[in-house]
Chains A and B, each alone.
Chain A
């Protein structure tokens, strides 16, 4: 059994397009299972800090998926932005405002039905649009765009949207400071 997997892994560089990437699929399945479990626990757990920590596992899994697809830049961005910044802000906010330890029973019960509705709608709309746009498309096995190419594209072709987003974020930043500091 082990020698079978080893021969598969060593044979990866000789793959032709109709062969299946065994190692990649095995890791995809493993990561996907962990992600599904963590996502379910995240919405069912009673403890809000645990929910944030389960979200870390889901986001790390997404980063792993990007690495499996060879998109290392997106994977690293996922870690830097979502795990390193957004989750830290979540935890920070929870710990600064709650100040209590342990579970909060049934705090979010009353909004359950609404959440289920929104969740089903999001899944339906996104999966529908994805299936519709990429129905017969096949991803190429060639190396996806490199970091340098991404940089060239952002600062060449998409420079106007990029600058627009920067200005928007700056405005949001200043706005939050103005709202928080009423004495200004």
Chain B
């Protein structure tokens, strides 16, 4: 990480410690930002109210108050629950989130891991959370939880496919599975010989971007895809029996994953940490890259939360039909078209 090599050379284990701490920050910071900015404030403004105003100036300390409230609550277990599975479930979901953040590069040298299978790894570890959700649904020993868990798992499995296939267009165009090299491919790209803004893949892969957005909306079980936690039918699905700290862990997991998926979308389609006009290997990007990435992440997650607050809930069969009969065929068409154009040009 050159960003820290400016002053001193660091040993491998020191770099590892710094990367671990920064990984924690990269998970928690977007989660907190999204909850305050969008869930508390933007949703309130859209509904003609002010949202939290009491804790701190403009309600800015509301998050701390919420965390404090959750931490004080008693750690309750349902009588029939399978305690070990019930306790472990939120950690499995969080583990998936923490593994997902690893593939995100935030600058030419500011990365957690830089491997050739980056995209593949991201899509693989995002599927681990399904196991955590099934564990929560089954371990709670309640019928609402079980139905919610099964709904969630069915939905996540169905939308994993368009998620993967939508990214394939980007991978074909960049010619690599390495996330860092996808960023470089966009930074060094040219639009018909004009390299003024690089070649952000949203221009050529707009269909892929739309499919990716819909798929991450469903993967996050956010409205209009929130049947797994549909409060009017099954209380809150697999979350029904969770209180206090464990509920908070699920909550952090959901919003952190929202942030990371948005950052991944920004990396695949909007050029990641790169801004046009500068040399992508410039050391400056190790400092401003993370900020650029957060900015683009906020842009993409604005879209996600905008859809969330706007549309009513789908029915279960409509959800499955959208995945299998619309998104999967569309993304296959996108892959074939991208492949043909890649060979033609």
Contacts and interface: CB of A to CB of B under 8 A. Distances in A.
A95 B127 contact: no
Interface of A: 6, 9-10, 47, 49-50, 53, 56, 72-73, 76-77, 79-80, 83-85, 87-88, 91-92, 95-96, 99, 101-102, 146-148
Interface in B133-174: 134-135, 137-138, 141, 146, 149-150, 153-154, 157, 160
Contacts of B131: 53, 56, 83, 87-88, 91
Contacts of B254: none
Given A10-B13, A95-B146, 10 more contacts: A76-B120, A83-B131, A84-B130, A84-B160, A85-B157, A88-B130, A91-B153, A102-B82, A146-B116, A147-B177
B127 A101 contact: no
Question: What bracket does the count of chain B residues touching chain A fall in?
Answer: 20 to 34
B121 interface: yes
Interface in B198-220: none
Nearest to B142: A101
A79 B116 contact: no
B115 interface: yes
A91 B138 contact: yes
Interface of B: 11-13, 80, 82, 85, 115-117, 120-121, 123-125, 127-128, 130-131, 134-135, 137-138, 141, 146, 149-150, 153-154, 157, 160, 177
B116 A72 contact: yes
A82 to B, nearest CB: 10
Contact of B80 (A9, A96, A102, A147): A102
B216 to A, nearest CB: 16
B120 A101 contact: no
A88 B116 contact: no
Given A76-B117, A76-B121, A95-B146, A85 B82 contact: no
A148 B11 CA distance: 30
Contacts of A47: 82
Max count, chain A CB within 10 A of own CB: residue among B85, B128, B157: B128
A9 B13 contact: yes
Contacts, number: 83
Nearest to A63: B124
Give the residue among B80, B121, B134, B150 with the most A Cβ atoms within 10 A.
B134
A137 to B, nearest CB: 26
25 contacts: A10-B11, A50-B85, A53-B85, A53-B131, A53-B135, A72-B115, A72-B116, A73-B116, A73-B120, A77-B124, A80-B123, A80-B124, A84-B128, A84-B130, A85-B157, A88-B131, A88-B134, A88-B153, A95-B137, A95-B138, A95-B150, A101-B82, A101-B141, A102-B80, A147-B120
A9 B123 CA distance: 31
Contact of B116 (A6, A85, A92, A148): A148
A76 to B, nearest CB: 5
A84 B146 CA distance: 19
A76 B124 contact: yes
A59 B263 CA distance: 29
B124 A79 contact: yes
Nearest to B120: A76
A87 B153 CA distance: 12
Nearest to A99: B146
A88 B127 contact: yes
Given A76-B121, A79-B124, A95-B149, A10 B12 contact: yes
B116 A147 contact: yes
Sort A-B residue pairs by CB-CB distance and give the 4 closest, nearest first. Answer: A84-B127, A80-B124, A79-B124, A101-B141
Contact of A88 (B85, B138, B157): B157
A56 B88 CA distance: 13
A26 B141 CA distance: 39
A164 B127 CA distance: 28
